[in-house]
Structure 1
Amino acid sequence: MRVGVSGFVPARLTQARVLASLTRLDLSERIGKSSSSISRWEKGESAPESEALESISFVLGFPVAWFTRPISSKPLSPVFYRTLASTSSDLRGKAGTKMDWLQEIAGYLSTWLDWPELNLPTHKITDHRELDFPEIARTALKCREMWGLGLGPIADLSMAAEGAGIICAHVQQGNTKMDGLSQWDESQKRPFILLSNDKSNYYRSRFDLAHEIGHVVLHKNIKTFDILHLKEIEGQANYFASCLLLPEELLSVELPRYPSLENLLSLKRRWKVSVAAIIYRAEKMLLIGEQEALRLRKSYSARGWMKGEPLDNDSQLESVRLMPRAINALLEAKIKTKTSIVRDLMMPVKDVEQLCGLTDGFLAFQPKVINNPLPKLKSIQDDSRSNIFEFKKKD
């Protein structure tokens, strides 16, 4: 009787398969096994034999040891995706896997490092329907107060979030439909935010981050929700983001009574928030009426700004600092080497580099340069005539 590999971890197979964009049927055809076998392995009902696991390792590009790497158990917590409704489950699965890896890497680094202490507003609301717009606005203002941001434009939202103990990362999703996701890791008692940088839009990225901070703060205690309520929950996070980025007290003073798009561009430059978001915020605050908002949106659309606003390409995305500084701290203290970090995590190097905010190739293996051997001529000293030969003249 053949026995499956001891210590096989089903979730590792699922992660590797999802990252490879393969269905169970795809994988079964490539390794010559039934899709029902793949399903049983991923459910933990059985384990693949060593030959099958070697085939899986070859097809998915992960070492055999990856599939026996333990995963720490943690209480389930909902993942909030900032995405379009048309986004495929495959893309969601990839993003969810990368979120799992970000949390795993952070847990690994916490063996030697302490993350910043959490500094977030708290409440005990377990049903999103208990939240109203005034409460959301107060919570956003509380964030600003706790983070020492005052009421003016936020110079660097990423730095503020990381300083409050939120671990953030930017990744390439290979698709512009996925903007970001957030989740509380209950075992580490810390929130994580993963943003897509596929659009490379500084203003959009800041709003996405503010949106995810909204989920982290407002929806921490919401453990389950019906998909029918998703639009309402996303609306709450959007409103939080607009309140966080554009406080009512100052915006109400700076916004003209009958603003033009040129006025709004000036505010965009100052507040680092898109024109579309400013129109949204102004309408919610009743600083402009419904007809005035409609007029601005029609003009906005007529100028082709739906595809991109002026100034969008003038700024680079905000950088994450916490994860790359953590890696560098271990390297500088000689606690770990680049090679040992890659070996310990067993994840694809490019994914680790992205999740840790490192430059491409930072952790890649660099072979030692071997000096090209060359012979050297001995130096000849001319201190005697013993090496000089005279030719005699012929008679």
Structure 2
Amino acid sequence: MFFGEKLQSVRELNGLSRKELADQLNLSEQAIWQYENQYTVPKFEVVNELKKVFNVRAQFFYTEPFVTNISKVESIAYRAEDREARKKTKMETTFIDFISYFLDKFENKLNLPTSILPLLRDESMQLYNTSVEASDRLLQLESIAENARKKLDVQSNSELLYKLELSGIAILEKNMGPSIDAYSTWTSQQKPFIILGNKKKSAVRRNFDLAHELGHLLLHYKIDMDSLTKDEHKTIEKEANDFASFFLLPKAPFLKDFSAISKKSNPESYLDMKMKYMVSIGALEYRAYKMGLLTFEENRYFCATLNRKDYRKNEPLDEDIPIVRPGKVRSLLDLILKNHLFSLNDILNDYSIDRSFLESLFGLENKFLSKYFEESNRDYFNHSNVVSLFAKDN
């Protein structure tokens, strides 16, 4: 029996509309709709083409769906400039559903520490929902950001991605096109995700994306993102930006370091602070200006210089600071496969998928998983084995 639901899910997973898939296969959009709704069954030749497009085996379409819907459209927070891209949000929920399924399958074999994110989120929301005057809102956000930085034990922004992964957030990279920087969401199973676009971006701007999405996870849980008005959406985006600024640039050390800057209106004067805080020159100056450390004239000159030197797109040192990539999923797969808790061959056979399917799903480079293929007669450990991800104290 051909399962049209499997075709729809793998199409959405790959970010294709029915028309886009139909064009690739030289079929009509109506034909794809009929396959997905099981009004007709694709011919053998069509199934062979579907295999190539989606890196799966023919049997994939003839076995029951294994992924459940645990991600909701209204729970996904996009950046403000990505508002128009929400029409593709359904496809991102499919991606989260697939990723979450395989992560859960692999993590069930490990002794993982309890994620601190749900508790930190509840603490943050309790303070966030406390009624305050509009003039005190920023102080409230700053207090939430300072508490989050402390609870996550972020000593340096250079370790931010690692600390977020350690806290229980699943962070992955995904090709989402030129208009989407990042997004975040909580699943119905209370698992937090941050998905980063893999378009070329500096390390310092990626750091801001991470802090911004952390703000959404902690402040805007249960908000229906899909029903917000334009003004409401701008408000929560500004809150996430303010949170990110407070989180990345704590007040006391920032004031101390900023006092050493001789010419506040010169972007080059901020390079040492950029290296220390791993934050863009523009974000550093904006934080200082909002704290009243620059005059209006100094701020205007600074912004004019940024525009004149085209620093809005590319700042000094951007090419020198290496971009940190998510590592938790790589470590998880390495631990699982090296300890033979799962056989890669068994996984691919059980789900009728190709190696490249998993590599694409997890944002891994081509052939990353090749080294884990084992001889068919390898003596694997049985599935009752459990390996701790963290060394136990003696």
**Common fold: TM-score over 0.5:** yes
The equivalent of 1:181 in structure 2 is 183
- 1:69 matched to 2:65: yes
Q: Is the 8 A contact 2:22 2:29 kept in 1?
A: yes
The equivalent of 2:228 in structure 1 is 226
Q: Is the 8 A contact 2:82 2:180 kept in 1?
A: no
Q: Is the deviation greater in 125-134 or in 346-355?
A: 125-134
- 1:55 matched to 2:46: yes
The equivalent of 2:121 in structure 1 is 122
Residues 235-282 of structure 1: per-residue CA shift (max 9 Å, x gap): 111111111110111112221475131221221011111101112222
Q: Using the alignment, how far apart are the partners of 2:138 and 2:4 within structure 1?
A: 44
Q: Give the C-alpha shift of residue 231 in structure 1.
A: 1.9
SS at match of 2:317: coil
- 1:339 matched to 2:345: yes
- 1:111 matched to 2:108: yes
Q: Give the C-alpha shift of residue 203 in structure 1.
A: 0.9
Q: Give the C-alpha shift of residue 159 in structure 1.
A: 0.8
- 1:13 matched to 2:19: no
TM-score, length-scaled by structure 2: 0.78
Residues 345/85 of structure 1: CA separation in 2 closer, same or farther (3 Å cut): same
Q: Using the alignment, how far apart are the partners of 1:122 and 1:89 within structure 2?
A: 25
The equivalent of 1:353 in structure 2 is 359
Q: Give the C-alpha shift of residue 63 in structure 1.
A: 3.0
Residues 71/101 of structure 1: CA separation in 2 closer, same or farther (3 Å cut): closer
The equivalent of 2:143 in structure 1 is 138
The equivalent of 1:239 in structure 2 is 242
Residues 325-367 of structure 1: per-residue CA shift (max 9 Å, x gap): 2111211221112323334455564453355464431224898
Aligned residues: 356
Q: Using the alignment, how far apart are the partners of 1:347 and 1:90 within structure 2?
A: 28
The equivalent of 2:336 in structure 1 is 330
The equivalent of 2:390 in structure 1 is none
Q: Give the C-alpha shift of residue 98 in structure 1.
A: 3.3
Higher helix share goes to which structure?
2
- 1:253 matched to 2:256: yes
Q: Is the 8 A contact 1:82 1:208 kept in 2?
A: no
Residues 38/355 of structure 1: CA separation in 2 closer, same or farther (3 Å cut): closer
Structure 2: gaps (5+ residues): 376-394
The equivalent of 2:378 in structure 1 is none
Q: Give the C-alpha shift of residue 155 in structure 1.
A: 2.9
Q: Using the alignment, how far apart are the partners of 2:23 and 2:15 within structure 1?
A: 14
Match of 2:10, as an amino acid?
Answer: A
Match of 1:160, as an amino acid?
Answer: K
TM-score, length-scaled by structure 1: 0.77
Q: Is the 8 A contact 2:172 2:196 kept in 1?
A: yes
Q: Is the 8 A contact 1:169 1:354 kept in 2?
A: no
SS at match of 2:301: helix
CA RMSD of aligned residues (A): 3.4
Structure 1: gaps (5+ residues): 370-395
Q: Give the C-alpha shift of residue 19 in structure 1.
A: 5.3
Match of 1:104, as an amino acid?
Answer: Y
Structure number with higher relative contact order (C-alpha < 8 Å, ≥ 6 residues apart): 2
Task: Note the 1:362-377 alignment, pairs <5 A.
Answer: 362-364=368-370
